[in-house]
Amino acid sequence: MIKNISFLKSLKQDISLMKKAIGVFDSGVGGLTVTSRIINYLPRENIIYFGDTAHLPYGSKSKKTVTRFSLKITHFLIKHNIKLLVVACNTASALGLNTLRQKFSIPIVGVIKPGAKAAISATKNKKIGIIGTDATIKSDVYKKALQKFDPKIKVYNLSCPLFVPLVEEGWINNKITHLVATQYLKSLKNKAIDTLILGCTHYPLLKGVITRVMGKKVTLIDSAEETAKEVKYLLHKQNNLIIQNNHKPQHKFFVSDAPLKFKCLGEKFLKRKIASVKKVEL
């Protein structure tokens, strides 16, 4: 009897959760670095990803524009019955997260706070560098988040706008990328930072080059790991994790333009094969 009840419970959850997924969005492929970590932490979960490839880059756009795009994408994902939203884009997290939280009632996880939290745990000398897009750096959100955890933290901000196109081009480990990184990061080298936040979805792919320039003593913080932990924590707290061992997760990918390019580059970011990518107009 008890066995039957628990079987029925599990069946009921299976049916209701089949439709429910974690929604993730980014301006393009970059958010797949976060998605990859979510899949590692939560291998049974369904995921619906939206890459706004028609509007990339967000990093050079205004708050108003990025917020408008973010609202449209969130509407789209909510129509797909998501149970939690991850704003995997640092720029959209920096500029649009508050508006999204005001307009929608589902749990929304951004990448700024988890990244700041990880940096605070890593730093010993309380000197933290942040690199990101122009928009993220100008917004100062990382500095605010870090100093909320610890007002004594010294923060050094730097935008590195050329990193995104270099990664998009697949120039992850070549001479030109090394030269660009050397030029950008030289202003951070004499600040004695011991921790550097990679405040952009694309930068984790440049970890090798950045370590070569900054030296091994500087800890690189990639918000993806902490963000995935936060997603797991929230879903667990709400009793909303898929618990069936035999559940086959569905991963769906949507873009606003160039699905083939997304698929090819996306597999590098995701470190997995992507079965198909659908183009949609919002």
Catalytic residues: 89, 200
Q: Which run of H or of E encompasses 181?
A: helix 175-189
Residue the block writes with tokens 């028609």? 54
Residue with Cβ nearer ligand DGL (44 or 261): 261
Q: Does 117 bind ligand DGL (CB under 6 A)?
A: no
> Residues 123, 133, 219, 227: which binds ligand DGL (CB under 6 A)?
133
> Residues 86, 130, 164, 180: which binds ligand DGL (CB under 6 A)?
164
Residue 32 Cβ vs ligand DGL, minimum distance, rounded to whole Å: 10
How many other C-beta atoms can be found within 10 angstroms of the C-beta atom of residue 244? 12
Q: Is the peptide bond before 57 cis (omega within 30 degrees of 0)?
A: yes
Q: Does 26 bind ligand DGL (CB under 6 A)?
A: yes
Q: Does 163 bind ligand DGL (CB under 6 A)?
A: no
Q: Does 153 bind ligand DGL (CB under 6 A)?
A: no
Q: Does 37 bind ligand DGL (CB under 6 A)?
A: no
Q: Is 166 helix (H, G, I), strand (E, B) or coil?
A: helix
Residue 98 Cβ vs ligand DGL, minimum distance, rounded to whole Å: 16
How would you write 65-127 as a 3-class SS string?
A: HHHHHHHHHHHHHHHCCEEEEEECCHHHHHHHHHHHHHHCCCCEECCHHHHHHHHHHHCCCCE
Q: Does 159 bind ligand DGL (CB under 6 A)?
A: no
- Could you tell me which of 138, 72, 131, 136 has the C-alpha nearest to residue 110? 136
Cα angle 220-225-227, degrees, rounded to a multiple of 5: 115
> Residues 201, 219, 223, 227: which binds ligand DGL (CB under 6 A)?
201
Q: Does 59 bind ligand DGL (CB under 6 A)?
A: yes
Give the binding range for ligand DGL (CB under 6 A) out of 13-21, 83-91, 99-107, 239-247: 83-91
Q: How far apart are CA 259 and CA 272, in angstroms?
A: 16
Q: Contact positions toward ligand DGL, by CB under 6 A?
A: 26-27, 30, 56-59, 89-91, 133, 136, 164, 200-202
